[in-house]
Structures are given as C-alpha cells and as structure tokens.
Amino acid sequence: MAENATRRTFAVRPDFREAFWLTAFLWCGVLGFLNVASILGGTVSTVGEYLTIILAPVFAVTIAGVLFLAFWLMAGRNVLIAWPAVGIAALVAAALMTGADFGSQWVLHHIFDAHRMPDTSRMSVLIISALYLCIYTTNTALIWITSANRHMREQQHRIAVRDADNLRAELRALRLQLDPHFVINALNGVCVLIADRRYDHAERMIERLATFMRATQDYSPENTITLADEMELTEDYLAVEAERFGDRMVVAFHCDPDIASVRVPNLLLQPLVENAVKYGVNQSSTPVTVSIRAERLETDRIRLVVANDGGAAASELSGSGLGEGSTRSRLAISYGVDATFDAGPTASGYRVEITLPIRQAQSHAVSPPVGISRVLSPPVGISRVLA
C-alpha cells in the first residue's frame, strides 16, 4: 500500500473560475451569516465596523488564491508531497486572513475614533485563527471535490471517445473482412460462368457487381442507413447472384411499410443473404427460395429474418460461414444487449432472426416501398414473391 501511495500523483488541477465562485459563495455565506447576526445583535454600529463587514469577504477570497496556487503547483506531483503542501497552504491562508482581519481593524481604529478594536489577547487570536483555518480547510475540500469530479468527468469523456474510436475501428475491420470475402465469392461465380461458357451472364454479373460496389463504397462502416436502403442494397447483391443461378434462385421480399425509415447498420443483411445463397442455393440442384423479411415486432422493436429452404445441405453448412460471426460482432458493438441474434436449421433449410430496437431516421428521403422492393424490372433469372 505504501508503495502504491508513493507512485500516485496528485491529478487535481482546479479551474480558476470554478474555484473563484466556489470560494466567493463559501465566504460570503459564512461571513454573511455571522455579520447579519452581529447587526441584529446591535454589535455593529460605526462606519468602521460596516467597512469591516465589506472588507472581510474581499480579503478572504483574495487570500484563498494561495489555495488555488497550491493546487495548481502540486498538480501532477506525488501525493505524499502534494497533500502536505496543500495543508500548509491552508495554514498560511488562515494566518494571512487573521493578520488581514486584525490589521484592517487596527487601521480603521486609527481612521475612525469611534471604531472599537477587537480583543487582541493571545487566546482570542488563536480562536479566530482556528476559525479561519476551519473555513479554509472546508474551502480546500470543496475545491478538491469539485476539481476531482470535473477531472473524473473529463477522464470518462476521454475514455468514451477512445472506446468510440475503438468501436469504429473494429467495425471498419469487420467490414474490411466482409468486403473481400464477398468479392472473392462473386469472382468465383464469374469464373464458374466463364468455365460453363455463359459469357453473357458473366459479363452482366461483373456489371452488376460493379454497380453494387459503387452503391456501397460511400457507406462508412460505423454509420447506419434506413431499412429501405438496406433492402435495396440486398436487392443489388441478389441481382449479382441472379446472373449465376438464374431460375434456381427465387427471392421473397417483405417489409412492413411503417418501418422503412428505421435505421440499421449498413450491409447488415448482405452477409446473411450471401450465406443463404452460398450454402442454400449453390448446394441445391432444385430451385431454392431465399426469404428476407422485416416486420415490426413490438412498439419499439423490429425483426429481420433471412431464411432459405435449401434442404439438409443448407441446414448443415449455413452457420459455418463468416457472415454470422461478423454480424453477431457488429450487433454487439452497435447495440450491446439490446439486439438479439438467433440462427439455426429448420425443417426445410436454415433461418437467421435478428431483433433490434427502433432507430428512426432524422430526415431521410425514403423510396416508396413495394413490399420494400424498388420499382424496377426484375433482373434476368430472379423471380420475386412480393408479400
């Protein structure tokens, strides 16, 4: 414990304005109470005595600058040095105030004949000094408490800023991990089309891939977008995959119109849909339905569902990809315990369900939803089942 004390530093550095007003309120309150009692008791009657009432708080607040100076000079020093120095500063301030009090009384006594000198016996001076020491000790404690509290708030703010920066960096890392993953899968699909001599489909797939990448490049990983925009990005991605799978992939979109403006992390659905395509559609020789649903669950929550009916192969493999792990991490970073993520096999395939708290767009133009799909002609090979 002693070793820890020798390593600790005095981290309090008071703000001048804050310390000044704190000191002024303290001394004006204490001396005001005593002086009002003296006036009501009839012990204050001469001009000199009224001047004393005015001068006392001025002297007290001015001398309190010794405390502020001690705090300022000791900031960053070892506590074993700092605290004794602050205590000595309080003693010095009490001694100076005692001297200022009796000195001003002596001056006023020589200016105004009617002004009465206070008792200057040793006991009286010690009592007055002890009283001033108690007030300056209280003054010191208040300065320390308010300064330490301000220092703690500033430290918490710095920690919050640092944590936010770390979270943003982690989100960027997750997105950077997902982006090449998606591109690699898409390019593998292009290679398959070329190997099958389906050159027109390969060319259109590259064009749609470029369109999708252009649509996503402006989104910062830590930012959110409206659910309508997120569904549109998912459609852009499925348009890429449609060139590869044609009629083997059936897409079902549904979204409650009243939640189109709810904000969600950008590209939240894409890796889950990519898993459904890779492990559901790609593993099946018969048509597979990829279903994307967004619906209001409660007053302040929504549910997002990505499912496929790719059969046993989809059930066994869909949870093994990168998409689920990265999505779980992004939800934990963005929402903490407010978001839920459930995934697992179903009788016909695989299903992922996410629930999120509602975050409305502030002022964001939202495309009119048609089951949330954009109004455009379906890409070649995609069948839509619009709820």
pLDDT for res 371: 36
For 314-341, write each residue's pLDDT tens digit: 555 555 556 787 788 888 878 888 999 9
Q: Quick one: pLDDT band at residue 200, thresholds 50, 70, 90?
A: confident
**What are the CA-CA distances from residue 24 to residues 167, 347, 364 (Å)?**
44, 76, 50
Contact 101, 176 (CB under 8 A): no
Q: Give the mean pLDDT of 222-233.
A: 85
For 137-191, write each residue's pLDDT tens digit: 998 888 888 888 888 888 888 887 777 776 666 666 555 555 566 677 778 878 8
What region does 294 belong to: left with phi over 0, alpha with psi -120 to 50, or beta? Answer: beta
Q: Give the mean pLDDT of 63-72.
A: 85
Could you give the CA distance from residue 196 to residue 9 in angstroms, rounded to a whole number? Answer: 72
**What are the CA-CA distances from residue 276 to residues 27, 29, 74, 285, 288 (Å)?**
73, 72, 63, 15, 9
pTM, two decimal places: 0.51
pLDDT for res 348: 86
For the chain, give the percent of residues with pLDDT over 90. 14
pLDDT for res 314: 56
| Residues in a beta bridge with 262 | 360
pLDDT for res 159: 82
pLDDT for res 270: 83
pLDDT for res 245: 82
Nearest C-alpha neighbor of 58 from the set 120, 101, 117 = 101
For 252-285, write each residue's pLDDT tens digit: 999 999 999 999 988 889 889 888 888 888 888 8
Burial class (CB in 10 A: 0-12, 13-18, 19+), 239: buried
